[in-house]
Structure 1
Amino acid sequence: MSTRPVTGPPAPASLPAFLAAYDEALARWPVPVEPLTVPTPFGATRVNAFGPDDGPPLVLLHGGGATGACWSAGAAALAGAGHRVLAADLVGDPGRSTLDRPRLGGTADLSAWLDAVLDGLGLPAADLAGHSYGGWIALRYALHAPARVGRLALLDPTRCFAGFRPGYLLRALPLFLPPRSAAKARAYLDRESGGTHLDQAWRELYALGFAGFPAARPVTGPRPTRAELRTLTAPVLVLLAERSRAHDSRAVADRARRALPDATVTVLPGVSHHSMLSARPDDLYRRLTDFLAPRS
């Protein structure tokens, strides 16, 4: 499928380089990936599908700017556990999805988009996992459509149980001031990963996407209230990055346990917010597949 920035002209050099890096990243995955194009009222959505066709469906939502190619370190574990995994490129974000309108209208549009994605995939319901911004979208969706979410996994989710650290926002702000460049994004990731292992191929893909999609902006919205969280019906797993600079992971864990006393909440050692999916994948994906395993 063709890909273009959500609005405005592409950065002439960065976008082709991004598309080549995206395809190269998928080609290195340890499992075969089937690229799907799912029409929605907001534009075409790219979904990278892998795992057995008849496995229980698991929809993955990446963090801001990370693309659906960020899950490579866990692909073999998830497919090996029998899941039919569907890693979407978020609409309005860098990636191979397209947005056929100037911008999204907020959380209602994100939920309507995910409704359309599940409909297009022929899924009445699915397990849902999201990292960072994708965790916030996943949680919002579980509140919007509880009957469509079997299990809910939140991986160092932002704005779900607490806000960002002010210092994190101050360090991120220059990223969005013109000119947007790959060099800015690389420096940001290196600083925020805090010396933890960061997958270098993904780092470059993130940087090129940041520069190639100058109009991309995350949708912002309120944190769920305690009353809203009490209405959740899906079993919930919350995994937090010990060395996250986005928030105080232990304080977030305490808040998550108070808000969702039946949830499984764990702080994973030795990983940062941005390196969480790749720094210690055996631990992360073992916990995730254990949580998603069918219960007798």
Structure 2
Amino acid sequence: MFRTSTSHTPRSNRTPRTPHTPHTPHFRAAYDAVLAQWPAPVDSVVLPTPYGLTRVNSCGPAGAPPLVLLPGAGATSTVWGACARAGLAGTHRVHAVDLVGDPGLSVPEPGRAVRTTGDLVGWLDAVLDGIGPHGPVTLGGHSYGAWIAAHYAASRPTRLGRLVLLDPTRVFAGFRHGYVLRALPMLVRPTPERIRSFLVWESGGAELDPAWLRLQDETARFRAVRPVTGPRPDLTGPGEPPVPVHVLFAGRARCHDADRAAGAARRMLPGARVDVLPGVSHHALPLVAAGEIARLVAAG
């Protein structure tokens, strides 16, 4: 494991280099600029896993309850900085993870791609082992990261103390066709202009962090691998979910109908807490609703 500890200073020379890194210097500079906004100090580690090296950015008291956060596709672990500043770093030891194969500073293992949900579970097993959290882990995720977190909770309920799903996609509802059609040009041939245009459309023009938007521009040039797809995770047990679950939907999400998805979640998990946050879009949720998310997690 490689480790660095940083504060609000330029970070480009502070993290050990690893072989075959797929990111460009411009991507790294944009990534570091967003991470510099996190509450100091930030501990950054590179954890070995069977599927490659995984970057984890951590902050908050070392003895606080562990909170592991998975971002949405393309968002990188840095998207959780607003939530950390809003209070999560005061109540928890926050561990934000770059998904292996996705934009970020994680480096896939050559010839050992993550291809199945079982691979994702094995990868996250290694990440949690490397972090070595003390006490029950709260696992949270946004969008695609929530889908991964839900699959992990279904497979490894004894490793978790709580599951937090933030506007999860393909867990309780599928994608709207209009959303997929709007996203398709960006997915087929990403460019900074297409990424910006899509985010403006989906967020309804919400004011998003300029540094994070610059990082999103750079993801257009990132050599990402094909994301894992598969069935919806099965969180149902004999009447109760395997771990306590809190689900927060973005009321203005364009990827699905938030109220219908929330209804499906309540029917599937009658013991879970399910809320809809009005006025917030899917992609903007971790950035503009950070205070609500921090209060949700702190409430337990």
Query: In the superposition, relative to structure 1, how do residues 37 and 164 fare at CA in structure 2: closer, same or farther (>3 Å)?
Result: same
Count residues in correspondence.
Answer: 282
1:50 aligns with 2:76: no
Separation in structure 1 between the aligned mates of residue 78 and residue 174 of structure 2, nearest angstrom = 26
Note if contact 2:141-2:147 (Cα within 8 Å) is conserved in structure 1: yes
C-alpha distance in 2 between matches for 1:244 and 1:4: 39
Q: Determine the C-alpha separation between the residues in 1 that align with 2:51 and 2:25.
A: 23
Per the alignment, residue 17 of structure 2 pairs with: 2
Match in the other structure for 2:181: 170
| Secondary structure in 2 matching 1:147 | helix
User: Matched residue of 1:113: which SS?
Assistant: helix
Quote how far apart the aligned CAs of 1:226 are: 7.0
Q: CA–CA distance in 2 between the matches of 1:257 and 1:4? A: 46
- The answer for the alignment partner of 1:237 in structure 2 is 246
Q: Which residue of 2 aligns with 1:260?
A: 269
Could you say which residue in structure 1 is the equivalent of 2:4?
Answer: none
After TM superposition, list the pairs within 5 Å mapping 1:177-256 onto structure 2. Answer: 177-178=188-189, 180-209=190-219, 211-225=220-234, 227=236, 232-256=241-265
In 1: Cα distance, 2:182 partner to 2:19 partner: 28
Does residue 95 of structure 1 match 2:110? no
CA contact (8 A) 2:147 2:233 kept: no
The answer (yes or no) to whether the contact 1:107–1:219 under 8 Å persists in 2 is yes
Task: Note the residue ranges of structure 1 that are not aligned, 5 or more in a row.
Answer: 292-296
Residue 287 of structure 1, CA deviation? 1.7
Higher relative contact order (CA 8 A, sep 6+): 1
Determine the C-alpha separation between the residues in 1 that align with 2:213 and 2:62: 30
Q: Helix, strand or coil for the counterpart of 1:171?
A: helix
Cα RMSD (Å): 2.0
Taking the aligned partners of 1:265 and 1:89, their CA distance within structure 2 comes to 26
CA contact (8 A) 2:46 2:55 kept: yes
User: How much does 1:156 deviate?
Assistant: 0.4
Distance 1:19 1:182 in 2: 16
Cα distance in 2 between the residues matched to 1:37 and 1:269: 37
CA distance in 2, matches of 1:148, 1:226: 15
Deviations along 1:166-188, one digit per CA (max 9) or x if unpaired, are: 1111111111223x322221111
Shift in Å at residue 120 of structure 1?
1.4
Q: Report the CA distance shift for 1:193/1:19 in structure 2 as closer, same or farther (over 3 A).
A: same
What CA distance in whole angstroms lies between the structure 1 residues aligned with 2:30 and 2:194? 18
Quick check: 1:86 aligned with 2:101? no
Deviation at 1:212, TM superposition (A): 2.4
Report deviation, 1:194: 1.4
Distance 1:20 1:226 in 2: 39
2:70 is the counterpart of 1:61? yes
Instruction: Name the SS for the 1:257 alignment partner.
Output: helix
Per-residue CA deviation, residues 184-210 of structure 1 (Å, 9 max, x unaligned), is: 21111111111233222212212212x
Tell me the CA shift for residue 32 of structure 1. 1.9
2:299 partner amino acid: D
1:151 aligned partner: 162
| Contact 2:34–2:212 (CA under 8 A) maintained in structure 1 | yes
SS for the counterpart of 1:154 is strand
Paired residue for 1:129?
140
Query: Do structure 1's residue 106 and structure 2's residue 106 form an aligned pair?
Result: no
Cα offset, 1:225, TM superposition: 4.4
| Alignment partners' CA distance in 1, 2:248 and 2:180 | 22
